[in-house]
Structure 1
Amino acid sequence: MKPAAFDLTLATSLDQALAALAGEGAKPVSGGCSLGPMLNLRLARPAALVDLRRVGELRTLTRGTDFLEIGAGWTHAEIEDGVVPDVTAGLMRRVAHGIAYRAVRNRGTIGGSLAHADPAADWISTLSVLDARLVIRSKAGTRESAMGDFMIAAYTTTLQPDEVLAAVRVPVLSAGAKVGYHKLCRKTGEFAQAIGAVVVDGARGFARVVAGAVEAPPLVLPGASEALGAGDAAGALAKAEEEIEAALAGHPEAFRAIHKVAVARAFSDAGIA
């Protein structure tokens, strides 16, 4: 099939893109890796598309005292290749390398993936475990959002029709930080069936454990995170299993089991269990 007819704006500035998005039925597009197939299947029928690939303001890199602000237009491949500096002890570069296939990584963007909000996508879980913040722009100004507040449900975020996800503020991890990430999928390149992610950075007093690909926003596991921050890795893993069991009680036993396995392997990957 082919997409239904739509108007197209090739935006060259963020102001131009935001002005075009003010039109009724307009939708932004960057890499198009998710929206493209939806258009062809006519699952999405926007009246207009606003192409963001030429917007230079979405490809900035700004280093703060304790964060790196990454423009939403940077591709997975550029993160994988180190064109975008990795301030997360190698976590973001490794995650980017495991996204789909190189052809997808060459076009897909970090901002597009987050805005699409597929629960099984990698960046949603990765940036949740890092406790990143999002910079969102509209004609009315700029607002920030914590990752935990951004995704409401599968494919649903707090982004309004006239807003654009402009950048991601990623915390700079210390040299001694430990990070782990593991996803279970049937074969390379597929979306995850379960994701486990863990970060512990003693120098920053930060520890977090996340179970992702749960058909909803990622599960930040508070009890496991607290135990890990206290240095009790075994207790943290046991607590993670308890919290996954409780949070996913309405799912089949196998679904709960693979998420426990993903988290356990993330602990092992981080060298903390």
Structure 2
Amino acid sequence: MKPAPFAYHRAATLPEALAMLSEGDETAPVAGGQSLLVLLALRITGFDRLVDVTRLQELRACRETDDTVFLGAAVTHAEIEDGQVPDPSQGLMPRVAAGIGYRAIRNRGTLGGSLALSDPAADWPPCLMALDATLVIAGQTAERRVPVRDFHLGPYTTALEPGELILGAEIPRLPEGARWGCAKHARKSGAFADSIAIAACPAPDRARVVLGASESHPRQLAETSALLSRQPTADESALRTAAAADIAEADPDADAWRRRCHLATVLKAIREARR
């Protein structure tokens, strides 16, 4: 299929992009386009105008402090995978990036595009939630900051207001010695995930376990995270019980097969984080 007709504009500056995006609900930003253009071609969604923000320097910026790393929204998956930008995650983000689609997709797909689309099967939302990242969002009059845990509201639904644009993500550095694990189940390489789990342990008594690829949006598994924080060496039986209860709450409409996938990925991520 082909998309319905739309106008295309390449914004030269951030103010120009924000002005265009504020002109109506039928205008959308596009960067790598690896998800949006597919949805347009299938006519699942449609816009009158696309505003290309790929070359905006504000969206390509990377900044480091002692405690955090800021990655611009137009940074590509491949740049993260290849270590061309700073890594605050002790290797977790390059690992996650390497598992996104195929290399051709990773060459063009962007961090901000994945977050803004909020596809339930996307890799970056659960990863950045596990890392306790905060998004920096620009509007015409001001910038605001939204923790990733509060940004994703449902499938393809976020806290972005009309006319706003993600500038990038501010990600706390995992300290030396921090542990993490990630697991993903897909029916074949490059396919949409059936389940994603990320376990990040910045300290022995602090753990965040996040489930992605549910029917809605990523969720931190509260009981599992609390158990792992209280008892880093908790036996797998206790973790299995806690995870099963969390999964039932996080993805209540999942069938038995998907619940088994979720449980397997959660336990696999935790095992890797405890090695």
TM over 0.5: yes
Measured against aligned partners, the alpha-carbon deviations of 1:24-62 in whole angstroms (never above 9, x if no partner) come to 221100001111122222332211110011111101111
Report 1:118-267 matches (<5 A): 118-202=119-203, 206-230=206-230, 231-234=232-235, 235-267=238-270
Query: Which residue pairs with 2:9 in the alignment?
Result: 9
Aligned residue identity for 2:115? L
SS in 2 for 1:196: strand
Distance 1:249 1:141, change over 3 A: closer
CA apart distance, 1:237: 4.6
Distance 1:187 1:266, change over 3 A: same
Contact 2:198 2:269 survives alignment (8 Å): yes
Distance 1:102 1:138, change over 3 A: same
Aligned residue identity for 1:182? A
Which stretches in structure 1 are left out of the alignment for 5+ residues?
A: none
Measure, in 2, the Cα distance between the counterparts of 1:267 and 1:74.
Answer: 28
Measured against aligned partners, the alpha-carbon deviations of 1:168-206 in whole angstroms (never above 9, x if no partner) come to 011100110000000000111111101111011117x53
Report 1:72-91 matches (<5 A): 72-91=73-92
Determine if the alignment matches structure 1 residue 45 to structure 2 residue 50.
Answer: no
Measure, in 2, the Cα distance between the counterparts of 1:89 and 1:188.
Answer: 24
Aligned residues: 271
Measure, in 2, the Cα distance between the counterparts of 1:90 and 1:237.
Answer: 26
Aligned residue identity for 1:202? A
Paired-residue identity, %: 43
Measure, in 1, the Cα distance between the counterparts of 2:53 and 2:177.
Answer: 37
Measured against aligned partners, the alpha-carbon deviations of 1:210-233 in whole angstroms (never above 9, x if no partner) come to 111111111211121122122243
Distance 1:178 1:238, change over 3 A: farther
CA RMSD of aligned residues (A): 1.5
Contact 1:61 1:70 survives alignment (8 Å): yes
Determine if the alignment matches structure 1 residue 269 to structure 2 residue 272.
Answer: yes
Query: Which residue pairs with 1:63 in the alignment?
Result: 64
Measure, in 2, the Cα distance between the counterparts of 1:164 and 1:252.
Answer: 36
Aligned residue identity for 2:44? L
Contact 1:27 1:161 survives alignment (8 Å): no
